[in-house]
Amino acid sequence: MPSASGRILSVMQKFLVFVLVLMSFATAGLGYVYFNQSPQELRGTALDNPHYVGDVRLANSQLGDVSLSRWQGEVTVVFFGFTRCPDVCPMTMARLAEIYDNLENRDDVQVVMITVDPMHDTPDTTQRYAEAFHPEFVGLSGTSQSVAAAARQFYIGYRDTEDGLMTHTDVVAILDRDANMRMVYGQDKLRWLEQDLHTLVADQNF
């Protein structure tokens, strides 16, 4: 008959085995949750049919004739606006500058503004306007025909208004590293752009 101390030792051994089994199940459960959790949800609008826009070619006062493919390998943020805009354009550009400065990997991001008012916004005017918000920003202009062609690629509408200004689609577009237009952000979703950009820049497959 086992001694009292032997019975106590046996009970302790069984308890220890029980604890180890529970710990192994807990660890397995945590591993399942960690490896199977869904990626962070993006709040912008993902295009059902992303398309290549790297062949959009316009003019820059410093770079000359340049296509958007120049920034392949980076995540490109594109906004169509104009330098005489009294409200949406400067507010959007200022927000993009704030977002850009908050990015940890801003070297992987390029912000580009394309004018919808080429009659007034020369390549030099557009570049100076863009870099006034951030020295790393690029401004593009061109002929009326080339700007119209670029706008069609991005589904941007614009026209003159009676007060001599312009009205235009004010979304921000995101191009992946292959210069495919993948995401758009209306003004109502712009507050989520910074969070989404952190996710997109960290994703080397984007």
| Per-domain residue ranges of the chain | 1-37, 45-202
User: Which pTM value belongs to this model?
Assistant: 0.80
> Which residue type does 162 have?
E
Token match 């960690």: residue?
34
Token pair of 180, please? Answer: 């495919």
Evaluated on CA atoms 61, 65, 70, 74, the torsion sign reads positive
* Predicted pLDDT at 91: 98
- Spatial contact of 43 and 189, defined as CB atoms under 8 Å apart: yes
CA distance 28 to 15: 20
Read off the pLDDT band of 34 (50, 70, 90): very low
pLDDT in tens, 162-179: 998 999 999 999 999 999
Q: The CATH number of 45-202 is which of 3.40.30.10, 3.90.950.10, 1.10.3720.10, 3.40.50.620?
A: 3.40.30.10
d(CA 79, CA 9): 73
Q: Residue 48 CA to chain centroid, in angstroms?
A: 17
Q: Using 50, 70 and 90 to split pLDDT, how confident is the model at 195?
A: very high
